[in-house]
């Protein structure tokens, strides 16, 4: 039974990895890492320096009495300092204190009874003192104090380098590096597909426009000229045939041939050649084959 439990524990540790702080200068406690920075900075400078550490780091935010006691015992008393910055301020809205880390309202506070006027427009940033939390009685950028940075623990497969950050509080943290890379790759693929579709569409349009503006006019012009020539020739032949028909009908009876001589007019009836009449009739009716020979 014990052997099975040990095996299960080992498998669990290997599958989940080892939880560590992302930097050696941080101390891990109950899922978070803390770093005391023993150099004076303004409130905004302290915030920026903590954020630069990466891995979801922000200036100190406290969520419970137990965490406040730990900060008092290990961070405050251990460094013999009278005060240091706490990442809490009401710079956005007077009297509405928010954590600079994720802009959330504190679920736990430890303001001293002698805190003074927390609604003073000039006093916006909170400091951690031996008497509790106090609003600094000066502009945030006029005071220089030490500060504490806080970060979530990270998972490491080798116990040295973080594989990912596991944020334990709502509203904090962000996407992992792997997720960001995957999103970027998908976006690049989509952009490439869109570019290819647009290029193909432009090529297709250019092809059709070129055919329409350069090829079709040439073919159409030649065809139109040939058609007009045929129509004119057909009209000319019709006019000639009509004139011949009229002249013939005035002089002769259809199907009869006659001639003049010194003797009186003689006529002789001969069979009408149907092929001649059908040819004339075809031309007059608009049949074009005989007219084109």
At residue 6, what are phi and psi to the nearest 5 degrees? -65, -45
Cα of first residue to Cα of last residue in the chain, in angstroms, is 113
> What number of CA atoms fall less than 13 Å from residue 162's CA on the CB side?
19
- Distance, in Å, from the CA atom of 243 to the CA atom of 258, rounded to the nearest integer, reads 20
Residue 170 lies in a domain: yes
Is residue 289 included in any domain, yes or no? no
Question: Does residue 199 lie in a domain region?
Answer: no
**Per-residue model confidence (pLDDT) at position 290:** 40
Using a 10 angstrom Cβ sphere, with 0-12 exposed, 13-18 middle and 19 or more buried, the burial of residue 76 is: buried
- Token readout for 235 is 């009209």
CA distance 273 to 82: 136
What pLDDT score does 180 carry? 83
- Partner residues linked to 129 by β-bridges: 83, 132
Whether 44 is covered by a domain: the verdict is: yes
The dihedrals phi and psi of 282, each to the nearest 5 degrees, come to -60, -40
**Tokens matching residue 55:** 């891995």
Domain contains 50 = yes
Q: What is the pLDDT of residue 28?
A: 92
Rounded-to-integer distance, Cα 101 and Cα 90, Å: 13
Residue 72 lies in a domain: yes
Rg value, the chain, Cα: 51
- Fill in the DSSP letter of residue 134: E
In the block, tokens 């259809």 appear at 254
Handedness of CA 254, 260, 263, 264 (dihedral sign): positive
178: CB partners within 8 A, 6+ apart: 164
DSSP string, 122-173: T--EEEEETTEEEE-SS-TTT--EEEEEEEE-EEESSSSS-SEE---STT--
Q: What does the pLDDT look like over 119-131, one tens digit per residue? A: 666 789 999 998 8
Q: Indicate the number of domains in the chain.
A: 1
What range does the domain containing 158 cover?
18-174
Unique residue bearing structure tokens 């809205």: 93
At residue 292, the 3 state secondary structure works out as: helix
Q: What is the pTM of this model?
A: 0.49
Instruction: Name 257's Cβ contacts closer than 8 Å, sequence gap at least 6.
Output: 267, 268, 270
In a domain, 127, yes or no: yes
Instruction: Give the CATH number, domain containing residue 95.
Output: 3.10.100.10
129: in domain: yes
Residues of the chain with pLDDT under 70: 1-17, 77-78, 115-121, 164-178, 209-224, 227, 245-293
Torsion of CA 270, 272, 273, 278, to 10 degrees: 170
| Predicted pLDDT of residue 222 | 59
Query: Residue 281: its pLDDT value, please?
Result: 45
Instruction: Output the pLDDT for position 228.
Output: 78
Give, in order, the Cα–Cα distances in Å from 221 to each of 107, 125, 214, 215, 230: 85, 85, 11, 10, 14
């Amino acid at each position: 039974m014990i052997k099975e439990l040990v095996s299960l524990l080992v498998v669990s540790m290997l599958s989940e990895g080892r939880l560590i702080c992302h930097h050696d200068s941080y101390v891990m406690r109950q899922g978070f890492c803390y770093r005391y920075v023993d150099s004076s900075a303004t409130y905004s400078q302290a915030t920026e320096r903590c954020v630069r550490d990466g891995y979801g780091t922000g200036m100190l935010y406290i969520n419970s009495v137990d965490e406040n006691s730990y900060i008092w015992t290990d961070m405050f008393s251990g460094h013999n300092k009278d005060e240091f910055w706490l990442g809490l301020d009401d710079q956005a809205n007077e009297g509405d204190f928010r954590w600079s880390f994720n802009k959330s309202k504190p679920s736990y506070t430890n303001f001293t009874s002698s805190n003074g006027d927390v609604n003073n427009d000039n006093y916006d940033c909170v400091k951690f003192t031996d008497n509790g939390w106090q609003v600094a009685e000066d502009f945030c950028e006029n005071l220089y104090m030490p500060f504490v940075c806080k970060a979530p623990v990270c998972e490491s497969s080798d116990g040295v380098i973080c594989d990912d950050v596991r944020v334990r509080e709502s509203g904090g943290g962000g996407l992992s590096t792997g997720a960001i890379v995957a999103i970027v790759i998908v976006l690049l693929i989509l952009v490439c597909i869109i570019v290819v579709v647009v290029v193909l569409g432009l090529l297709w349009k250019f092809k059709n426009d070129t055919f329409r503006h350069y090829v079709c006019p040439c073919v159409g012009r030649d065809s139109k000229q040939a058609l007009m020539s045929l129509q004119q020739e057909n009209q000319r032949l019709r006019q000639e045939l009509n004139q011949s028909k009229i002249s013939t009908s005035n002089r002769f009876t259809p199907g009869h041939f006659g001639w003049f001589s010194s003797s009186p007019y003689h006529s002789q009836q001969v069979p009408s050649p149907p092929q001649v009449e059908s040819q004339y009739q075809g031309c007059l009716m608009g049949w074009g084959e005989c007219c084109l020979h």
